[in-house]
C-alpha cells in the first residue's frame, strides 16, 4: 500500500510495479497534464487527446517494470505516450501529416512529407547535430517550451530557438534530399 504522500520517484515506480492502485493514480495525476498538453499540440479534439494519453499510460503501466532509472521518468513516460500519439495518427493517415516543420514554409513539390513515414522522419532526425537534435526532439516531439528546454539544457531561450531553427532547416533539406532520391530511384 502507498504510504505517505511524499514518495521518491523510485519508491513511486516500485509501488506502481507492485500494483498499488493509489501509487498508479498518483503517477498518472503527476504526469497527466504534461502528456495532455503534448497530445493537444497535435489535435484540437480533447476526447482524442484523452484517448491517446490513456492508451499511452496503459503502455507506461505495462512497461514500468522495465524503467531503469538511467534517465528521466518524465522523459520515458513522454516517449511512450508519444508512441501512442504516433500510432493513432499512423492508423488515421498511414503517413506523417501532424509533424509541422514550419507552418510558414512554402510547400515544395506537392509535399515531400506525403512520401515519408514516421520512421523515415525519425531516422532523418538522427542526422542532425547533437544539440539541435536534442532541442528539436524536446520541442517538436515531446512538447517542451523553449523556457523549459533552456532550463533543462542549461542554455538561453534564444539559443534554444536558434537550435530549433537550425534543426528545422537541416531537417527540411534532408527531407527534400530523401524525396529527390526516391524520385530518381522510382
Whether residue 58 is predicted with pLDDT greater than 50 in this model: the reply is: yes
User: Nearest 5°: phi and psi at 20?
Assistant: -80, 110
Tens digits of residue pLDDT in 160-170: 999 989 988 88
Looking at the structure, do residues 121 and 76 belong to the same domain, yes or no? no
Count structural domains, the chain. Answer: 2
CATH at residue 65: 1.10.1740.10
C-alpha to C-alpha distances, 2 to 43, 62, 65, 72, nearest whole angstrom: 35, 19, 17, 22
Three-state SS for 45?
coil
> What helix, strand, coil percent values describe the chain, rounded to 5?
70, 0, 30
106 domain-assigned: no
Q: pTM score, two decimals?
A: 0.52
- Whole-angstrom distance, CA of residue 88 vs CA of residue 121: 17
86 shares its domain with 133: no
Residue 137 sits in a domain whose CATH number is 1.10.10.10
Per-residue pLDDT, 182: 58
State how far the Cα of 60 lies from the Cα of 34, in Å rounded to an integer: 15
Q: Which of 121, 22, 40 is nearest to 81 (CA)?
A: 40
Q: What is the pLDDT of residues 73-107, one digit of tens each?
A: 888 898 899 888 888 877 775 544 445 444 444 44
Res. 133: pLDDT tops 90 = no
Domain that holds residue 24: 9-93
100 lies in a domain? no
Q: Are residues 125 and 70 in the same domain?
A: no
Residues 16 and 89 in one domain: yes
Task: Answer whether residue 127 shows pLDDT above 60.
Answer: yes
Of 93, 120, 153, the one marking the end of a domain is 93
Same domain, 88 and 120: no
Amino acid at each position: 500500500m502507498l504510504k505517505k504522500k511524499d514518495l521518491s520517484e523510485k519508491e513511486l515506480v516500485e509501488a506502481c510495479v507492485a500494483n498499488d492502485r493509489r501509487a498508479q493514480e498518483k503517477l498518472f495525476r503527476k504526469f497527466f497534464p504534461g502528456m495532455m498538453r503534448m497530445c493537444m499540440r497535435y489535435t484540437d479534439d480533447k476526447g482524442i487527446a484523452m484517448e491517446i494519453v490513456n492508451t499511452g499510460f496503459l503502455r507506461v503501466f505495462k512497461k514500468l517494470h522495465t524503467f531503469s532509472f538511467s534517465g528521466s521518468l518524465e522523459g520515458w513516460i513522454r516517449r511512450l505516450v508519444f508512441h501512442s500519439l504516433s500510432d493513432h495518427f499512423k492508423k488515421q493517415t498511414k503517413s506523417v501529416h501532424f509533424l509541422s516543420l514550419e507552418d510558414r514554409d512554402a510547400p515544395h513539390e506537392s509535399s515531400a512529407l506525403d512520401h515519408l513515414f514516421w520512421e523515415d522522419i525519425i531516422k532523418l532526425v538522427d542526422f542532425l547535430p547533437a544539440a539541435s537534435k536534442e532541442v528539436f526532439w524536446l520541442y517538436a516531439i515531446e512538447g517542451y517550451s523553449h523556457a523549459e528546454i533552456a532550463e533543462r539544457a542549461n542554455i538561453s531561450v534564444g539559443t534554444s530557438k536558434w537550435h530549433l531553427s537550425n534543426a528545422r532547416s537541416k531537417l527540411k533539406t534532408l527531407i527534400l534530399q530523401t524525396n529527390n532520391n526516391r524520385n530518381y530511384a522510382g
